[in-house]
Amino acid sequence: MRDEIIEDAYLACQQICRNASTTFYSSFSTLGYEKRRAVHAVYALCRWVDDIVDGDEEPIVEFTEELLEQTTQRDLFLRELHSNSEPSNPEEVHIQRLMALVAIRNKLQRASLGQINENDEPVFIALQDVFKRYTIRLQDFETIIEGMEDDLFPVMCNTWDELRSYCYKVASAVGLILIEIYGYEDRAARLHAIDLGIQMQLINVLRDVSEDYERGRIYLPKEVLASHNISIHDLTNPNLPQNPSWNSFIREYLEVIRRHQSSAIHLFEYLDSRSRIQPRIMLDAYSKISNEIVRRSGDVFSTPLKLSKRSKFSLWMKINYMKLRAKFSVD
């Protein structure tokens, strides 16, 4: 494939990252050129599948009889997996989104085998190059898609283990791809990358409780809520943060986050001075969100939880300081 086609594909992925999240995009700038554009390609794929499932992007799929058959078989499998529950969306929308995920899964397999051509979407052209350069695993991409497929159905996590399983699929699997790009020598790094992904996604889940509830997704473990005398219906009550039972639940939830974070921070020991900056910045950003939850006494309902301008500026300063420090350090 022509070099200019590959370069244009990477630039398209970079633009997706820039438009999606200024914090993520800024943290990627700490990486060297080759690693940075590889991470752009991975993140662009993740952003794409997430937008399809959430309905933020209308999926455009080249229809074939083979793809329809694959989608039908996948749908039957998923319905059985979800105890024959009905999809969250009308049938036509459900099939359209699932078909898009099946098509993406197929193209990822082609990318891993070097079978993508110049007429394919830029993200797959870029990812094919990433597969050639790094020892990333197709299995981890498939795990991410499995997590997105789960979101096509009503979600009800009952236990911490079920919530952790979901976090692994949609976040830890991403981390396992990224550390192959960062580079490491000790496989213990993978365990800490898994915990970093779980920690970050646990914070996402708590931050997005109301939005997820409206989409029929209850990630907060039902049995744990019940142990604090909180029902699923209580999650619609704007006065819930004033309930001592909710405060008790929040304390337990934040303790679980802290346990995963205590492992996640050891990931940096296995990465070189420049590669460790990006995950460290993201850990810091998510810790700020977690601290804001504490400051609000667990109120994740009244106003959206996001980084303040002051926090973003602080992270920007830290990124530049750490980039400068890494430039003159020797591992």
Is 70 exceeded by the pLDDT of residue 327? Answer: no
pLDDT score of 54 more than 70:
yes
Q: Angle between the 122-133 and 91-112 helix axes, to the nearest 10 degrees? A: 40
Distance, CA of 31 to CA of 42 (rounded, Å):
14
pLDDT over 60 (residue 329)? no
State pLDDT tens for residues 106-118: 999 999 999 999 9
Please state which CATH class domain 1-153 belongs to.
mainly alpha
Cβ neighbours for 279, distance < 8 A, ≥ 6 positions apart: 175, 178, 182, 193, 196, 267, 268, 271
Among 104-118, 150-164, 210-224, 312-326, the range scoring the smallest mean pLDDT is: 312-326
**Topology classification of domain 154-331:** Farnesyl Diphosphate Synthase (1.10.600)
pLDDT, residue 285, reads: 86
Q: Is 312 helix (H, G, I), strand (E, B) or coil?
A: helix
Mean of pLDDT values over 90-98? 95
The pLDDT, as a whole number, for residue 276 is 86
- Residue 144 above 90 pLDDT? yes
pLDDT score recorded for residue 147: 96
Domain 1-153 shares a fold with domain 154-331: yes
Could you state, in order of their start, the residue ranges of all structural domains in the chain?
1-153, 154-331
Q: What is the mean pLDDT of residues 255-276?
A: 92
Q: Residue 31 pLDDT more than 90?
A: no
Find the mean pLDDT for residues 237-254: 94
- Please give the Cα distance from 197 to 189 (Å, whole number): 12
